[in-house]
């Protein structure tokens, strides 16, 4: 992770903020609260918060404003993982090298913990102490997160992914699945942070949206690659789980070398989008480099 020099610092920052938020919640049900804590804090790279923070830094947003965005994004991501792991979905036993929430607790508790983390995301945006100019954009931030999380984004993508299991789908159909399932929240990480900038133009938002879309797709292509090239220890979950579940993947459709070339092409296009922006975009370029080099 040499490309991501700030990652550890920002991971610690968002983890502290998430912990503080959970600590303020009343203990109405100790088991549910512990499951929420387990699902939110057992690990993870915090890629979406990190992407929000470095985008905000690039476009001149205040870090306190990005705090609210970053925490909301991570709560949505964590809830989606709790639900994706359920027996009715991907039926996974491990997540980040530890028992999935429904195995550590039980299925009903995992569902409720996911539900509660989803609403906690909107609590962050509704109640965070944003700066004056971002206060007026609170509704726009909520709209962006809703669109990225629901039917038009992550949930819709997961439904397409489930319906594609045991079926042969085209490359275009696969890209649609992942543009919604994975890409929408990554794109929101960039655009919600950009919304916090006091000076950004619509043209600059469009270029950032293009970058985010390309990086989001590259992220999924690389995910499919490392699902078959990395060890179970590196992945923190069973190797080849997508293949075992009879899901279409980029290596299955393009071959391993073809998928690796696809990731490289997306990476180069994302750098071209950044080159047109009037900012120092090195940290965003480094993020794209990390995406196509990561092994877990």
Does the residue 237 lie in any domain? yes
Would you say residue 236 has pLDDT above 70?
A: no
Would you say residue 73 has pLDDT above 70?
A: yes
pLDDT at 235 (0 to 100)? 52
Provide the domain limits for residue 165: 7-293
Does the residue 1 lie in any domain? no
Q: Which of 202, 180, 191 is nearest to 141 (CA)?
A: 191
Question: What does the alpha-carbon distance between residue 218 and residue 174 come to, in Å, rounded to a whole number?
Answer: 13
What is the residue-averaged pLDDT of the chain? 92
pLDDT at 165 (0 to 100)? 85
Q: How confident is the model at residue 90 (pLDDT cuts 50, 70, 90)?
A: confident
Does the residue 159 lie in any domain? yes
pLDDT at 1 (0 to 100)? 44
Question: What does the alpha-carbon distance between residue 60 and residue 233 come to, in Å, rounded to a whole number?
Answer: 39
Cα distances (angstroms) measured from residue 160 to each of 81, 142, 195, 224: 16, 24, 29, 17
Contacting residues for 105 by C-beta, under 8 A, at least 6 apart: 31, 34, 35, 38, 113
Write the CATH number for 56: 1.10.600.10
In sign, the C-alpha dihedral spanning 74, 77, 81, 82 is positive
Q: How confident is the model at residue 30 (pLDDT cuts 50, 70, 90)?
A: very high
* Averaged pLDDT, 67-95: 95
The pLDDT tens digits for 123-151 are 999 999 999 999 999 999 999 999 999 99
Asked if residues 274 and 281 have their Cβ atoms less than 8 Å apart, the reply is: yes
Q: How confident is the model at residue 3 (pLDDT cuts 50, 70, 90)?
A: low
Question: What does the alpha-carbon distance between residue 70 and residue 61 come to, in Å, rounded to a whole number?
Answer: 13
The pLDDT tens digits for 249-283 are 999 999 999 999 999 999 999 999 999 999 999 99
The torsion angle over the Cα atoms of residues 202, 203, 209 and 215, rounded to 10 degrees, is -150
Query: What is the 3 state secondary structure string of 59-126?
Result: HCCCHHHHHHHHHHHHHHHHHHHHHHCCCCCCCCCEECCEECHHHHCCHHHHHHHHHHHHHHHHHHHH
pLDDT at 289 (0 to 100)? 96
Bridge partners of 95, per DSSP, are: 98
Higher pLDDT pick, 239 / 36: 36
Asked if residues 254 and 226 have their Cβ atoms less than 8 Å apart, the reply is: no
Q: How confident is the model at residue 240 (pLDDT cuts 50, 70, 90)?
A: low
Per the structure, how many domains does the chain have? 1
Q: What is the CA radius of gyration of the chain?
A: 18
Does the residue 208 lie in any domain? yes
Contacting residues for 175 by C-beta, under 8 A, at least 6 apart: 217
The proportion of the chain whose per-residue pLDDT surpasses 70, expressed as a percent, equals 94
pLDDT at 248 (0 to 100)? 84
Does the residue 281 lie in any domain? yes
Does the residue 136 lie in any domain? yes
pLDDT at 239 (0 to 100)? 55
Q: How confident is the model at residue 36 (pLDDT cuts 50, 70, 90)?
A: very high
Question: What does the alpha-carbon distance between residue 238 and residue 102 come to, in Å, rounded to a whole number?
Answer: 17
* Averaged pLDDT, 79-108: 94
- pTM comes to 0.92
Does the residue 2 lie in any domain? no
Cα distances (angstroms) measured from residue 103 to each of 16, 22, 240: 26, 22, 21
């Amino acid at each position: 992770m040499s490309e991501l020099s700030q990652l550890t610092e920002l991971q610690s920052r968002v983890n502290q903020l998430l912990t503080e938020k959970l600590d303020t919640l009343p203990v109405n049900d100790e088991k549910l609260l512990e499951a929420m804590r387990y699902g939110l804090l057992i690990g993870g790279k915090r890629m979406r918060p990190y992407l929000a923070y470095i985008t905000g830094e690039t476009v001149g947003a205040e870090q306190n404003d990005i705090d609210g965005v970053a925490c909301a994004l991570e709560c949505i991501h964590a809830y989606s993982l709790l639900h994706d792991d359920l027996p009715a979905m991907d039926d996974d036993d491990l997540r980040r090298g530890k028992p999935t929430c429904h195995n550590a607790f039980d299925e009903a508790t995992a569902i409720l913990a996911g539900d509660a983390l989803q609403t906690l995301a909107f609590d962050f945006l509704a109640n965070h102490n944003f700066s004056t100019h971002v206060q007026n954009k609170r509704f726009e931030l909520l709209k962006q997160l809703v669109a990225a999380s629901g039917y038009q984004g992550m949930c819709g993508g997961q439904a397409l992914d489930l319906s594609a299991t045991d079926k042969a789908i085209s490359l275009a159909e696969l890209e649609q699945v992942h543009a919604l399932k994975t890409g929408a929240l990554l794109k929101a990480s960039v655009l919600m942070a950009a919304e916090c900038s006091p000076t950004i133009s619509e043209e600059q938002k469009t270029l950032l949206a293009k970058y985010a879309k390309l990086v989001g797709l590259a992220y999924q292509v690389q995910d499919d690659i490392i699902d078959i090239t990395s060890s179970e220890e590196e992945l923190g979950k069973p190797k080849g789980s997508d293949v075992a579940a009879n899901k279409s993947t980029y290596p299955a459709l393009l071959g391993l070398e073809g998928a690796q070339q696809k990731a490289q092409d997306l990476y180069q296009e994302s750098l071209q989008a950044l080159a047109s922006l009037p900012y120092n975009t090195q940290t965003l370029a480094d993020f794209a480099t990390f995406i196509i080099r990561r092994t877990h």
